[in-house]
A and B are shown apart, each in its own frame.
Chain A
Amino acid sequence: MKAILALEDGTIFEGRTFAGEGEVTGEVVFNTSMTGYQEILTDPSYKGQIVTLTYPLIGNYGVTDEDAESGAIQAEALIVREYQRIPSNWRSQKTLADYLNAAGIVGVEGIDTRALTRRIRIHGAMKGIVSTVDQDVESLVQRAKESPGLIGRDLVKDVTCDRAYKWEGEQERRFHVVAFDCGAKHNILRSLAGRGCYLTVVPAHTSADEVKSLNPDGLFLSNGPGDPAAVPYVVDTVKRLLDYLPIFGICLGHQLLGQAFGGKTFKLKFGHRGGNQPVKNLLTGRIEITSQNHGFCVDIDSINDPEVEITHINLNDQTLEGMRHKRLPVFSVQYHPEAAPGPHDASYLFDSFTQLMTEYAKA
């Protein structure tokens, strides 16, 4: 079926659906990972976004339940160059098209995704619309313009869990961690559980007192979608918990901490999405190749608290990638040490967190 992607600047791409039908709006973003389409689609941080993958051949190895990063497909639509109808991999349970169809998500192929990517890189992330029902480009562009976009938008409330739940692994229970679910990826929870953390995953609107009543050893702030400035209620909670227990934040969790430390966030021109972003650990001098997925960023110059130390920076654009509090057991990174998809170079950060909790417990 013919599908049209219209951007708010009037750019039109024509393609064909390989899954789903209908119409959907969202911010159009690109991800440069060559593998991991299932993890990307199911990452709650993609809520509100139409994702295009720069690697042209997608669907090659099918999908499997194991690789889902949440209970549902979160992206609004998927745009690829050439969908691969017949997957081949021993782990594959079904085709990507079946997966998208079951969730009613539109998948479009036959689009010059490189041209689309260049458009976004040059002009910045844009609002867009994908439609199989309306072929009138003018009305599509108009509706793309009118769509809500991400700035100032709280999408956390759409993806956070309804009520608290437990998550643990087979390891010995060593630390009770309360994980704020702002749209947490499963592999974060798995990574923590694999290190002896037993988790209480709580909704993003959980109050500081409720957290305290759980008497945890540590607090984890998850990734999540939307504008970090649009969730002041979580920032507030974090502020109240800052000097209470060890805290580790990832992605949105890092941006919440940044705000709690008095910093500001801003929207990047087109974000960082991919599995090849170089980050320098300023404490060790080592370079990590990291998995990233963020459109907003904590302004490195807005972190003025002398007690907050910049620990990681992005080597491509020198933006803030990690920080820690010099006195309090609090640290965070903008990127994704849990990978899924992406390299495992930064998995040591989960060990740092358990280490921090161990030390804090002793003190």
Chain B
Amino acid sequence: MPKRNDIKKILIIGSGPIIIGQACEFDYSGTQACKALKEEGYEVVLINSNPATIMTDPETADRTYIEPITPEMVSMVVERERPDALLPTLGGQTGLNTAIKVAEMGTLDKCGVEMIGASVDVIKKAEDRNLFRKAMQNIGLRIPKSDIARGMEEARELAGQVGYPVIVRPSFTLGGTGGGVAYNREDLEKWVAWGLDASLIGEVMLEESIIGWKEFELEVMRDKNDNVVVICSIENLDAMGVHTGDSITVAPAQTLSDREYQKMRDASIAIMREIGVETGGSNVQFAVNPKNGELVVIEMNPRVSRSSALASKATGFPIAKIAAKLAVGYTLDEIPNDITRETFASFEPTLDYCVVKIPRWTFEKFPETEDYLTTAMKSVGETMAIGRTFKEALQKGLRSLEIGRFGLGGDGKGRSEREGIDPPLDEIIQKISTPNSERIFYLRHALKEEIEINTIYELTGIDPWFLHQLKEITEMEAEIAGAHFPLDRGLLQRSKELGFSDVQLAHLLKRKDDNIRQLREQQGLKCVYKLVDTCAAEFEAYTPYYYSTYEKENEARVTKRKKVMILGGGPNRIGQGIEFDYCCVHASFALREEGYESIMVNSNPETVSTDYDTSDKLYFEPLTKEDVLNIIEQEKPEGVIVQFGGQTPLNLANPLSEAGVRILGTSPDSIDLAEDRERFKAILDKLGLVQPDNGTAMSVEEALKVAEVVGYPVVVRPSYVLGGRAMKIVYDQKTLEGFAKEAILASPGHPVLIDKFLEDAIEMDVDAISDGRETIICGVMEHIEEAGIHSGDSACVLPPHTLDKDVLRQIKDSTRALAKALNVVGLMNIQYAVKDREVFVLEVNPRASRTIPFVSKATGVPFAKMATKVMLGRTLKELGLTQEIVPHHISVKESVFPFDRFPGVDTLLGPEMKSTGEVMGIDTSFGAAFAKSQLAAGQNLPVQGTVFLSVRDRDKEHVCPVAEQFIKMGFNIVATAGTSRFLQERNISNQPVKKVSEGRPHIVDHIKNGEIQLVINTALGGGPARDGYNIRRAVLEYHVPYVTTVAGAWAMASGVGAMLGEKLSIKSIQEYHGGQGD
């Protein structure tokens, strides 16, 4: 049956900013869906607040609204665009929840919009625990027993019914409080008492414990004729108890016999039917009792998900694209399989390789929180690796993680290996028993200590099959370590088949990795490339999607075309996210436009860059020197682009260049020059530019000396890192001592940079593009928070709204001069601080920055594409870019933080980046654009109520006009004693409130009682005073908007002002840039 002709226009809701649990996989699926629907001739309308996405590129959809994803805004889009249908299943949980709310508001009925893919009823049946339980009972399946208790007596009774051990979880806590396991009545009393107290509504849920059971996922698709296929099975290495997003997972399932697998497949198909997902993809999670095979259903998501993105990359089957086509009425047997061309989507992919996904955590960013994993997801990204054995895939995955490791161990990079001492037994036992980000490495220690596999299994719940695999790796490690260089070919080959990297071999054999490479060359041992083809070679595959392995036959099809390789960014982490993937994807598009074959190398399964049709060729490989050089040897590209993928490829620039690889665009030497303090200083001096007083140090002693010379406060940071890793403002010598040590560790072998910190300066971000002759400013962004907060965390506005023309001209002139001096070809980013109208250069990065997608969305110019063309030799003039585009509208970028995932973490911002994602607000006034950015970031701006003020002495003077502004808008002011008195003296009416340390009721009580609508609390600097900390955690948990700087308070006042004025309006990006509809 053909596609539906009764619908013409379809609305898609995106997933908004990157947050933990919702990352770029939804850009990948959304982009696929938009493309698929457009291909079919539908008009696609999109709303997504995240500018760093390919889906919000003006070409992806027909009408793109970069507006907050709130029910109100989506309703406005519906009213304005009058789509025929809404497809809610592609924007993650955000898309699904928002769609339900819009439906409940009546907008869809009123405007005659049909929900396709999954109806409101279906979504509720899958999401509501009780409805879901009943549905499962209907089809003879069960979910873990659970029920709600409202008091101790009820809890005791329930625990009896559910059976011990029982998990006690407080209902409605905010901020990942987790739960406790009660093994007996005594435990129960303890946990229930705690849970009732922690719950906001005085309820606890008692749940049957299935901790230690094996966890599986199936990705399922259904079409309107009720044809159901299973795309992929996934088995978690970590047993139940660790969120699947935090688990190492493997595709396909490894430890199920066919009987068990088919039972699970039958169950998932029955669930699809019972829940009633009309069309599209869903994911079903199961737990299996390892002792008797008993199967329980954990949950099902009637939408594309992180797992479906992984399944798509793991199998080559594009779930989101097919889901979109099914939603408009196609059936599975009508949709061709792009990879084989001769077969259709109505089949089940079969794998002839093993896929391992490993999460990427950033606990180092949140030292106040403990590194342990629970049922609440904490990882910010993931990496995927493909190999012909599990061992190979696992080790490839571990070296893709960008945590400085090159395999499971024996790479000389782990802490214990660096320090030359193995961790003590009790530490090993503790670290494997409690799931944490380093557990996989401690499993190696446990195996090396010859702890019995059965014992490890008892402690971890990790299936012995996986443990034996790890054991084979450690045994091979020992065998290599016991061998002599040069290894014989047999052992070398076997070590490679088990995924050992050159770095591991070099460390174990006490050689350099280049020696291992030479040895492989001498012995003629080369990796081969195999295809991901959905069908285990049963049909010919046309899509060149490759992975490496050490085997007989090489399937890589090398063309004679001129080609360029793009190195991607690896797994998402804080400081390096979707923005860089966006740039890589644009590079690929530009290469195609210029007639080059584009070759993408990346290891991140969530991204658009690793979609099989983004580039001409995709190598799903780790981004290490060894792996990249192997591909280069195979493909012999004309050049390699390293400046788009963030720090990961940038770190490879020198090693690749030394190996004779041509780096396109700005030279590695220039990149180095910008990072090298001394050389950079010389350039600044020559150009007559100034930077804050500074110096470098290789030791703590040197650091103290430098600080003394430049004077406190100072900014301390390691070089060659991204996202302000281990960067801090230090106010005194004692703090510096401790911190300098950490900074030295964060980037070993590189100097620590120490700058004079400019207090109360305005920070600017400038992106520019240069072809080596001309330099054009892409955009100048003014940070809303003052200098000292990492640029990735700071809200910013484009164009700048407070700086005068002279200062701006000075900034632009400096930018052009620096581009010339550094011989930039491509993109560059410079950060400036302006203090008392004097311009200081803070940092220069001759590469694509995190702000490029935002600037491109604000100006309508695809700078990353242009930069790629420039690197290929085109001039800016040829590309038609002759002057800076300064838009008439105002664009505000706001950052989004993961604090609610990390109990006990302070939300204060500083020079180390903490945000996971960003949103954009666009409008004609600053206030409206700022208000939109806040709404998009999930802050509910108040339009009435009470503002709480507590500011440090330096800010008291500056905060007065802000307070007056809020009073003018009808707000009441309350303030802590000092601030209150200060305001009182200036006749600003306010009520004093108690600090937490001053007795009750204090400010946190007021926040909890909903009496405070906005918190302005400045405390940048020193250690987090306990009072400030308590307030910040409370506002986080109770969703009260808060600002931590006076500048932010001003912006907030403008935003509130805009909310009080006319109703916010919406406008598509195509209208902003095409001039239509103005």
Seen from chain A, the residues whose Cβ lies within 8 Å of a Cβ on chain B are: 13, 30, 32-36, 38-39, 54-57, 60-61, 64, 66-67, 81-82, 84-91, 112-115, 117-118, 121, 274-278, 280, 285-287, 289, 315-316, 339-344
Contacts and interface: CB of A to CB of B under 8 A. Distances in A.
B226 interface: yes
17 contacts: A35-B253, A35-B256, A55-B536, A60-B254, A90-B292, A91-B257, A112-B551, A114-B388, A114-B530, A274-B538, A276-B350, A278-B347, A286-B227, A287-B331, A289-B229, A340-B258, A344-B262
B265 interface: yes
Interface string B543-566: 000000001110100000000000
Contacts of A87: 465
Given A84-B465, A114-B530, A315 B346 contact: yes
Contacts of B259: 66-67, 91, 340
Contacts of A121: 537-540
B553 A114 contact: yes
Contacts of A55: 252, 350-352, 536
What 10 pairs between A and B have smallest CB-CB spacing?
A115-B553, A36-B258, A341-B258, A54-B536, A112-B552, A88-B465, A35-B258, A276-B348, A287-B227, A54-B352
Contacts of B226: 286
B293 A91 contact: yes
A359 B266 CA distance: 29
Interface in B346-362: 346-354
B389 interface: yes
A36 to B, nearest CB: 4
A73 B260 CA distance: 21
B987 to A, nearest CB: 76
Contacts of A39: 258
Contact of A82 (B389, B463, B537): B389
Given A276-B347, A278-B333, A287-B331, 14 more contacts: A33-B350, A61-B257, A67-B258, A90-B291, A112-B553, A113-B352, A117-B352, A287-B227, A287-B229, A289-B347, A339-B262, A340-B259, A343-B262, A344-B265
Contacts of B230: 289
A285 B225 contact: yes
Nearest to A84: B465
B344 interface: yes
Contacts of B342: 316
A306 B114 CA distance: 46
B619 interface: no
B552 A315 contact: no
A278 B253 CA distance: 21
Interface in B295-354: 331-333, 342-344, 346-354
Nearest to B294: A90
A118 B553 contact: yes
A13 B552 contact: yes
B3 interface: no
Contacts of A30: 536-538
B888 interface: no
B390 interface: yes
Contacts, number: 163
B258 A33 contact: yes
Given A33-B258, A67-B257, A115 B551 contact: yes
B290 interface: yes
A342 B258 contact: yes
B354 A57 contact: yes
Contacts of A341: 258, 262
A93 to B, nearest CB: 12
Given A56-B354, A81-B388, A34 B553 contact: no
Interface of B: 225-227, 229-230, 252-262, 265-266, 290-293, 331-333, 342-344, 346-354, 388-390, 463-465, 468, 530, 535-540, 551-553, 555
A301 to B, nearest CB: 20
A34 B350 contact: yes
Given A115-B553, A285-B225, A341-B258, A88 B464 contact: yes
Given A90-B292, A286-B227, A343-B262, A57 B254 contact: yes
A302 B483 CA distance: 65
B537 A60 contact: no
Contacts of A57: 254, 354, 389-390
B260 to A, nearest CB: 8
A86 B468 contact: yes
A217 B468 CA distance: 53
Contact of B347 (A67, A85, A316): A316
Contacts of B344: 278, 315-316
A32 B540 CA distance: 14
A117 B353 CA distance: 13
A89 B293 CA distance: 9
B409 to A, nearest CB: 20
Contacts of A54: 350, 352, 536-538
Contacts of B255: 60-61, 88-89
B447 to A, nearest CB: 13
A121 B533 CA distance: 14
B536 A32 contact: yes
Contacts of B465: 60, 84, 86-88
B443 to A, nearest CB: 16
A236 to B, nearest CB: 35
A257 to B, nearest CB: 26
A85 B453 CA distance: 14
Nearest to A61: B257
A86 B551 CA distance: 23
Contacts of B333: 278, 280, 287, 315
B372 to A, nearest CB: 26
A275 B262 CA distance: 11
A289 B348 CA distance: 7
A81 B331 CA distance: 36
Contacts of B332: 287
Contacts of A61: 255-257
Nearest to A347: B266
A115 B292 CA distance: 38
A32 to B, nearest CB: 4
B350 A274 contact: yes
A277 B388 contact: no
Nearest to B535: A32
Contacts of B349: 276
Contacts of B256: 35, 61, 89
Contacts of B343: 278, 315-316
Most buried by A among B254, B343, B389: B254
B259 to A, nearest CB: 7
A277 B351 CA distance: 14
A277 B535 CA distance: 10
B219 to A, nearest CB: 14
A100 B253 CA distance: 24
Nearest to A85: B468
Nearest to B331: A287
Contacts of B253: 35
Nearest to A55: B352
Nearest to A119: B553
A148 to B, nearest CB: 26
Contacts of A117: 352, 536-538
Contacts of A113: 352
B178 to A, nearest CB: 29
Nearest to B534: A276
Contacts of B291: 90
Contacts of A287: 225, 227, 229, 331-333, 346
Given A121-B538, A278-B347, A56 B292 contact: no
A18 to B, nearest CB: 14
Contacts of A118: 537, 553, 555
A54 B266 CA distance: 23
A87 B230 CA distance: 25
Nearest to A39: B258
A36 B265 CA distance: 14
Contacts of B535: 32, 276
